[in-house]
Amino acid sequence: MELKISYDELGFGNSKEKGAQRDINFNTELLKNISFREYERVKLFVDGREFFANVRLKEYKNSEKKYYMCNRLKEEIEDSGIEFSDKSEIRIEKICGEDENFFKVKPIKAEQLLSKNVKISKKFLRKCQDASDFAGILFVNEFSGHKIFIEKEKLIARQEEDKENIINLSQRYRLLLESDLPSFICQYYLDKFPELKDIYSDAEYNLEYKCSYFEKKNEFKKLLDSAEKSRGPAKNIRAYPIYGDKEEDSMRDKILKGLIGSRTNKFIAIRPISGDEGEDIIRLSKSSMEILGLEESDLAKITYIDKSYRARVFEFCDLDEVDYNNRTSIKNIGIVSAIPSHIRHELGLDFLGTSVSIKRDEYFLLKKNMNNLALSIFGFLISIPAIFQIDSIVLRVLAFVVLALILFYISLSEVRSKVFNNE
């Protein structure tokens, strides 16, 4: 399929725009029947020269432009010697083999139950890795819209050759993606698999059940298996390769990780209580905070693909209001994080079921513990007479610095243990 774009229909991103993706944004305010899917990788031709881009669907109110090209993609095209003008010939083409992006989820092996790695088709992964700026894969549950981004370092090629595309996910990833039991199902799939109406019966097609999660999961699987026998596989998990330069950790960041300790976990973004809106805070369950080594009011770093935000962390306080604001009952408080709308906007979260990565801010924790530790270590060092008996001033200073660093590292062991003991 081919889509031609006139220069007058095309706008360009702000030079201060966050993110490193090569995106073409479709303005959903003006475009309705869009035949391209969100995050779909397409071929972009400008004056006959071929480039690659990712499709994004965004709403631009009070804009006459139907399409917006991100600043990075524009710069890449201009660096190749092309200048945009009203005579530019621009078109987008679908890439063949789109069905290869659909996957069926299977659990990971029992001994790898807590693994953060994802096993995926060797052929598909190799195709993604052909691009030097491959960053990872965004998995989308087409039933419910839930999304989870898996970094390229955590993607492992499956050794088995299967007739259908398979991905192996840990239990946590399956819960985040809602692959075993979606809490919501869109109208398209409800029409395609009417058997599921026995489960998603209310007006909003939300999942409601009074029995246990496992009983409902088994019922869903049984109905879906029955439907697939007559109408073919559901193909509801779609994989989108994400491309963009990843920001490498600086030497300071690596040192801080060694001193403070670091652990990252993924959580589903949900609406917060009304009192949190407009505040730079997020909420997690008490157990989630303990696993990440966080205390109340500590600073955490929230990341989604290539965008990040820092906010204070607090424990959930009013779960009834959280349920009400999210129009559903939160079944597993340990996999969600209540994030205000302005933070979600900064991260580029266009859907509440999107998973984000959260970890504690090592630099904040270093400053938090620095003052008391520095005074204690300095007082201890000047009380050691052996240091002042060294004749050489250079050696005396060197001994002082080395001992200070060793003591500083030892003193931070309690801070490190909060994450290491939970690994």
pLDDT digits (tens, 9 = 90+) for 7-41: 999 988 754 444 456 788 898 888 877 788 777 87
Q: Distance (Å, rounded) from C-alpha 99 to C-alpha 297?
A: 46
- Based on the domain organization, do 62 and 18 belong to the same domain? yes
pLDDT tens-place string over residues 354-367: 999 999 888 888 87
Q: Percent of the chain beyond pLDDT 70? A: 85
- Based on the domain organization, do 36 and 116 belong to the same domain? no
What beta strand segments (E) does 59-190 contain? 67-69, 90-94, 102-107, 118-120, 134-141, 147-151, 155-157, 166-169
- Based on the domain organization, do 326 and 215 belong to the same domain? no
Q: Distance (Å, rounded) from C-alpha 417 to C-alpha 229?
A: 51
Give the least confident one: 304-308, 351-355, 362-366: 362-366
- Based on the domain organization, do 129 and 235 belong to the same domain? yes
The amino acid occupying position 31 is L
pLDDT tens-place string over residues 91-115: 999 876 555 677 878 887 765 666 7
List helix spans (H) across 56-158. Answer: 71-79, 122-129
- Based on the domain organization, do 12 and 107 belong to the same domain? no
Q: Which of 221, 242, 263 marks a domain boundary?
A: 242
Q: CA-based diameter of the chain, in Å?
A: 88
- Based on the domain organization, do 309 and 356 belong to the same domain? yes
235 — pLDDT class (breaks 50, 70, 90): confident
| CATH at residue 106 | 2.40.40.20
- Based on the domain organization, do 271 and 136 belong to the same domain? no
**Residue 411: other Cβ atoms inside 10 A:** 17
Strand-pair partners of 148: 139
- Based on the domain organization, do 138 and 215 belong to the same domain? yes
Give the least confident one: 51-55, 78-82, 299-303, 403-407: 403-407
- Based on the domain organization, do 103 and 176 belong to the same domain? yes
Q: Distance (Å, rounded) from C-alpha 371 to C-alpha 373?
A: 6
Backbone angles phi, psi at 238, to 5 degrees: -110, 140
Antiparallel, parallel or unpaired: β 281-284 and 237-243: unpaired
- Based on the domain organization, do 356 and 372 belong to the same domain? no
Q: Which of 314, 339, 363 marks a domain boundary?
A: 363
* Residue 225, H or E segment: helix 213-231
Q: Domain count of the chain?
A: 4
Q: Distance (Å, rounded) from C-alpha 273 to C-alpha 188?
A: 31
Q: Which of 322, 344, 363 marks a domain boundary?
A: 363
What is the residue range of 174's domain? 98-242
- Based on the domain organization, do 184 and 294 belong to the same domain? no
Average predicted confidence (pLDDT) for the chain: 81
pLDDT in the model for residue 36? 83
- Based on the domain organization, do 337 and 374 belong to the same domain? no
